[in-house]
Every structure is written in structure tokens, then in C-alpha cells.
Amino acid sequence: MDSLNSSEPPVFADIKDAARQLSGWARRTPLLENTILNDELGFRLIVKPECLQRTGSFKFRGAFNKISRIPEDMRSKGVVAFSSGNHAQGVAAAATLMGMKSTIIMPKDAPRAKIENTKALGGDVVLFDRQTESREEIGERLQKEQGAILVKPYDEPLIIAGQGTIGLEISEQVGEIDAKPDAVIVPAGGGGLVSGTALAISETLACPVYSAEPDSFDDHKRSLEAGSRQPVPNGASSICDALLAPIPGELTFSLNSRLLTGGLSVSDDEALMAMKRAMLSLKIVVEPGGAVALAAALTQKIDLKGKTVVVVCSGGNADPEMLARALAM
Amino acid sequence: MYDPRLRTEHDVTDISDINKAVELLRGQVFRTPAIPSPGLSRLTGADVYLKLENQQVTGSFKVRGSYVRMAALSDAERKAGVVAASAGNHAQGVGYHAERLGVPATIYMPANTPFTKVARTEALGAKVILEGETVAESRVIAMQAAEADGKVFIHPYDDPLVIAGQGTATVEFLEDVPDLETIIVPIGGGGLAAGCCIAAAAHKSTLEVVGAQADAYPSMAQVFRGEKPHGKGATIADGIAVKEPGVLTTPILKAHMKDIAVVMEADIERAVQIMVDVQRLIVEGSGAVPLAVLLESPERFKGRRVGLMVSGGNIDSRLLSSVLMRGLVRDGRLARLRISLTDTPGSLGAVTGIIGIKGGNIVDVLHQRMFRDVPVKEAEVDIAIETIDADHIREIMDALEAEGFGTRLLSDTSLN
């Protein structure tokens, strides 16, 4: 990819390039499985735990792939991002590692824990009032006044390529454990993670890749069925706070519409049950949005009997209250 | 009766036994990952690595030793079957391999063992017999039964082959992170720790092994001090609640281990919580004891490359849940306030407004004007709030008081 601001969808070579860029910075998360759980389920379940990634989610990969490519002479200008969640932490951590300033724009009513976490990773948090201010205006002002570089959460080639390194790692790691996946399932919000992963898988394992979403935010599923980007209806709600993008991204959907076999969706309760399974059987902490692919596999939204499936658990930034709620299921 | 001294046919376990065990275990158990922990490194000032035996088959390292021991059974012994005593990880380790090797297994557990533990072991195909008040009593009964029935008793730690098997976890850890300077390892009977000592000494003479025990069962530390070992009561680190250290393991530890750190119950509980918060890993109490040691004396390990043996992840869901919620209260991140209102329209709104301005996130409101024993013109409301820390709670309470709302903290935190 020649430009930092390309708007062309990434190709497989961009993911290999991202893997080189991330080497030594992002963690190569292991593949996990539990043979006793496999026996119980009747299929082989392999988990890619991005909750063990730096900042507790996959978002660090894309953010670092973009931010680390900003030329030296532009680094003093800093980066800016809109997010109250995992993207904020990924951007803040990546910028700090590169010695750059990051400004994260968050709603004033964002949970203080998330604000504090982002600050702890070195981000400057700017709060805005959802009622009276527009985050886009604040962002544009920062870009104009300081020349700060915007890091989008998903609809950007370098971000997609960064997240795609997960697919590349999966294809290498399944070889190490003699597994031949019949399917890969990946959570989808804006679609960056699933599109990058699907791109890598299509060039390596070439097995079906599915997106997984909450039932009430099943815009990828419906968009794939319709063949065009479908928005989430107004008023939808879900506990999967990491997956609440209003519509699939343009760039991500151009890849997903070509590369995904289909979209799966799960209820909030199914996501909570999957979180419980993750804690008790796989010994990892997964947030609700990070658990939807696991939930889709555990509830066999596609027939998995006797098969091998890889699921991405995309993040682990859940509040203890949410974990306790899952444990009570 | 089982006598560990009779199991010393090739003297004490040495590194060649552990290396043989490494070969033997290939494909039989997981080669678990070892990962760096930038989060725990930041928190403690040490360069922290974790060996994830919580990711092991059956959720603990125990399957290593039990396999190595059971693989050494003669055909006649396999046919006769094996006996073990444990309500926890050792039961699962023996049960798991017994099923796969086609060896009948009988596991003795104390009579009061929770049903879920019995069911989990039975699900692996083992026969469970509930007898004895404590694991120690069950063990005596199991040893007698083994002798009477001509079966082999599989000891949880006092067996050279078991020690060799447990040592493989450290061999792998050092393969992945060869330049570790310290390994902190939990000690119950001492099997894992003895294997760790032998493997560490063979790797590099300067590699330090520090033992970690719970204050409720500091038996090996007591033996080190020349005291009579004892231990009692309930502990979250039930995996290492052993009253008497092993006959074979103790001299190995004495020869290699400089000292043993003992941590309090509250420290262990906090370590379990921090593993969840910082590392997003589920770790059982005994598996969190090494982290508790590191958190307890960070200055001792500052700047060193420290490996924590995360020995297991089998924690009961209710216990885990209560650790997490107690952690929130302990850190001042969750507070329940009882606030007196005048029962006029808008006063509840004013209260929630003040909390909002002060940055508290209300998670629960209980407004029981009708039923509580308060004057009719007054009302009380209990509000649960997510907060940053104890100072933040104090700040919110002061703001409410300043506006005339009497406020009391219901959840007991470090504010007192």
C-alpha cells in the first residue's frame, strides 16, 4: 500500500506487510482449545483469544499498523480517534508506543472506567456533550488546528490489514496443531476484523468465514443476504457494546460481500452463556461483543457436528458486573 | 500401605527423568503457552511472564504427573486399576488418563465434597467413593483399599514419576523464556515445586526458585523453619491446602529453594481478581498465589525477569463471581449508598443529578418508600454506583451531604 490514506480495499500482500509491521509489538496470541469441551460438544472448537492481546482487544493491531507508518516529520501532530471503547485504547497504546500524542473524543457520559483506562494508556481524552456538540466538528477542528491524523475504527485499508493479521496467524497456527478448520467465525461491528480475517483466510486456508453479531445488530447478516449495506433499525439495543456500529462499513462490506459465506447472529443471553463457557472451560475473560462468534459456535448456528471450527474471541474488556452476570447464567 | 520411600527405585528424581517425561507427554497433554504480561509488569516493576497451566487439559498441571505415573503401570497393574484420593485437580488428572488408557480408576473424596466436583470426575469415567471427613482421611482409606484390592495408589505428589511429570511444565517454560531469573511456584505437597527446582537447577545455576504458600497452610515453610507443619481452615487456594509436605519433595525443595513466601487470604483473592482485570485470565486461588507473592513484595523482584507458574484455573463460578464483586467494593469501584430524601417530587431526581455531575455511574436504585420503617414524610433510597476509587465515593457523599441529603455508605470499603 503506497499511501497512508489509501481508500482502496487492502489485498493479501497488505496483511503480510502488516504482520511484519506488528512483529515485536502486537502479541501473537495463542490458539486455545479444551479437548474435554470438544468431546462434550461433538466438534473441535479452537479459540483465537484476542482478549490476551495488548489493551485487551484486537483493536491494537489495526491502530498500530496505521499509526506506526506515520512518517517521523508528521508524528508531532498526533492522532485523533472517536471511540469510547476498545478502539480508543488501541489507538492510545499504539500512539504512546510511537511517542505520539493521541486525542480520544468520547461522549461526556462514557463510563469513567473507560475514560481512565484510555488516559492510563497515554491518551488525552476530550469529552463532548451528545446533546449539544458534534464529535465530528471537534475532530475536524483538531485535524485543522493541529494537523492531527484521524484513525478510523474500521473503514480504512491499514486498519483492515492490521486486523487481518489475525487470519494470517490462525492459518499458520492451525498447522502447528494439525487442525484443518471447516469454518472460521468472527465477530462483526463495523466489519474491519471480519473482512481482514476473511481476506487472509481466503488466501490461505480457503475455508468458509462467517460474521457473528448480536440479533438486534445483525446488519452484516442482512446486508449479506440483501447484497447491499443495510442499517441497524433505530432504537436497537444489546449488551454487546463493542459491536454497535449502525451500518457495515463501505470498504469492509466491499470485501465482506465477496469473501463471507454468511452472517450468523446470537441473542444477548447466548453471548452471556458463551462468556461463562469461556471463563469456566477456556479460562479466559471475554466481553459480550467478543463472545458472539463463540456463542454462534456453541449454539451451532451452522452445523458443526464432527467438524473443526476456529472462533475469534475479539476482546476481554468487560466490567466485573457483566462477568458476574454471565457467571450467574 | 503406600510408602513413598519404596517408590525411590531410581533414587530421587533428576533432570533425565524430567526429560524422559517430556518425551512421554508429547501428544498426551497440552504444551501450554507461556506469555509475557506487560500489564502485570507495569503493575509490579518486574518483567513478568506467565506459564499458563490453567490452559492445561482438565485445567491444571496435574495431568502431567498422573500420566507419567500411569504410563509406567505394568499390564497387570493396568488391568487391576488405580486408586487416588482427591476432590480436586489430582482427581481430574487421574480420571482423565484412566479413561484414555482404559485403566479403571477409583477416586476417594471426603464425604462433604460438593456435587459438581463429584460429577466432574465421574464424567471423566472414574468411580467416585465418598469416604472420610478430610482429604487426608480419604487418602488413608484409599491407600488401604488399594492394598486390599491389589491396585496401584497414585500419589498426588510423593512419587518420583509424578515429580518428573510436573517438572515438564518448568522445562517448557524455560524453553519459551530461557532468560528467566526467578520462578515463583505454588507449593502444596511440593510435587510441582520439586519438579520446578530440578528443572531450574539443570537450566542455570543462578536461576532462583521461590516457593509460594497460603497463610492457612504454610506447611512447607514451617518445615523449612524447623517447625512442626500444620494448617487449618478454609482457603481460596484449596489446591495447595496440604497439612503435611511430601517425604520425597521436601528434601528436593530444601536443596534448591532459597525461601518460601507465605501470603494472606486477602492477597490471594486480590491476585485472582487482578488476573481477571489485567490479564483477562481465569486462575484458581492456588494458581494466583505466585502473583500474590509478587504483588506483596514487588521491591524484591523489581527489574528481574520473573516467571509465575499459573498452576490451574479450576475455580467455582460462584466463588469467582463473589471475588469479582468483592474486588469492586474493595477498590472503591462499586459503592452502595443509603440516602435520606424528603418525600417531595423531584428529590430523587436531584440526588441522581448530583451523582451524575460528580461522575458516578448509577447501576441500581432501590426506592422503598412504602415498606421501610421511616417517617412518612421521609424516604430512603439505596443507590449502587460505579466509582473510580474510594476518594471518588467520598467526593460524591460530600456533595450529597452539602445539598442536605443524609448519606451513609452501606458497602464497607477502605473508606473506614
Cβ atoms B285, B236 nearer than 8 A:
yes
A187 sits in which H/E element: strand A183-187
**Residue B213 CB burial class (10 angstroms; 0-12, 13-18, ≥19):** buried
DSSP A206-254: ---EEEEEEGGG-HHHHHHHHTS--PPPTT---S-GGG--SS--HHHHH
Contacts of A139 (CB under 8 A, 6+ apart): A80, A82, A105, A150
* Structural domain contains residue A20: yes
Residues of B in contact with A280 (CB under 8 A): 282, 317
Helix (H, G, I), strand (E, B) or coil at A60: helix
Query: Is residue B60 over pLDDT 70?
Result: yes
Range of the domain at A132: 60-150
Q: Which domain holds residue B284?
A: 4-61+159-325
Question: Are residues B121 and B42 both part of a single domain?
Answer: no
For A121, name the nearest residue in chain B, comparing CA atoms only.
B39
Question: Is B227 part of any domain?
Answer: yes
Alpha-carbon span B178 to B207, nearest angstrom: 10
* 8 Å CB contact between B271 and B295: yes
Q: Considering only CA atoms, which of A197, A124, A200, A103 is closest in space to residue A154?
A: A197
pLDDT at B371: 56
Query: Is B414 a member of any domain?
Result: no
Q: In a 3-state reduction of DSSP, which class is residue A98? A: coil
Do B182 and B320 have their domain in common? yes
pLDDT tens digits, one per residue of B128-170 = 999 998 888 999 999 999 999 999 999 999 999 999 999 999 9
Counting other chains too, the contacts that B374-379 makes at CB distance below 8 Å and 24 or more residues apart are B374/B340, B376/B343, B377/B342, B377/B343, B378/B340, B378/B341, B378/B342, B378/B343, B379/B340, B379/B341, B379/B342, B379/B343, B379/B347
Q: Which amino acid is at B102?
A: G
Task: Report ipTM for this prediction.
Answer: 0.92
Residue B413 has a pLDDT of 42
- pLDDT single digits (tens) B211-251: 999 999 999 999 999 999 988 888 999 999 998 899 999 99
| Res B10: pLDDT | 55
Q: Using pLDDT thresholds of 50, 70 and 90, give the confidence band for residue B416.
A: very low
At B329 the pLDDT is 86
Residue A72 lies in a domain: yes
- B129 and B237 share a domain? no
Within this chain, do residues B8 and B89 fall inside the same structural domain, yes or no? no
In-domain check, residue A6: no
Test A27 with B59 for CB contact under 8 angstroms. no
All residues of chain A having their beta carbon less than 8 Å from the beta carbon of residue B317 are 276, 279-280, 327
* CATH at B37: 3.40.50.1100
How buried is A217 (Cβ within 10 angstroms: 0-12 exposed, 13-18 middle, 19+ buried)? buried
Q: How far apart are CA B330 and CA A276, in angstroms?
A: 24
Q: Please indicate, yes or no, whether residues B293 and B311 belong to a single structural domain of this protein.
A: yes
Please state the domain count of chain A: 2
Higher pLDDT residue, B200 or A115? B200
Residue B12's pLDDT band, with cuts at 50, 70 and 90, is confident
Which residue pairs from B114-117 have beta carbons closer than 8 angstroms and sit at least 24 positions apart in sequence? B114/B316, B116/B316, B117/B87, B117/B88, B117/B91
Beta carbons of A321 and B55 less than 8 Å apart:
no
C-beta neighbour count of A132 within 10 angstroms? 7
Tell me the one-letter amino acid at B154: I
Domain ends where: A150, A183, A214? A150
Residues of A in contact with B324 (CB under 8 A): 320, 323-324, 327
Whether A245 and A104 map to the same domain: the answer is no
* B277: nearest Cα among A315, A165, A317, A197: A317
Beta-carbon pairs below 8 A across chains A and B: 81
**Which chain A residue has its CA at the smallest distance from B34's CA?**
A30
Provide the pLDDT for residue B370: 58
Q: Which residues are within 8 A (CB) of B202 and not within 5 positions of it... i.e. 6 or more apart? A: B15, B18
CB of A113 less than 8 A from some CB of B = yes
Q: Is A178 exposed, middle or buried (0-12, 13-18, 19+ CB in 10 A)?
A: exposed
Q: Is the pLDDT score of A87 beyond 50?
A: yes
Q: Residue B372 above 60 pLDDT?
A: no
Q: What is the CATH number of the domain that holds A89?
A: 3.40.50.1100
Query: Does any domain span residue A7?
Result: no
Beta bridge partners of B85: B108
- In tens, the pLDDT along B386-401 reads 888 888 999 999 999 9
User: Residue B414: what pLDDT?
Assistant: 37
Quick count: other Cβ atoms within 10 Å of Cβ B367?
A: 14
Question: What would the grid cell of residue A65 be?
Answer: 499498523
Return the pLDDT at A95.
Answer: 97
Does the beta carbon of B334 lie under 8 angstroms from any beta carbon of chain A?
yes
Nearest by Cα to A130 from A155, A149, A105: A105
Q: What is the pLDDT of residues B286-298, one digit of tens each?
A: 999 999 999 999 9
**Residue B9 confidence class, pLDDT cut points 50, 70, 90:** low
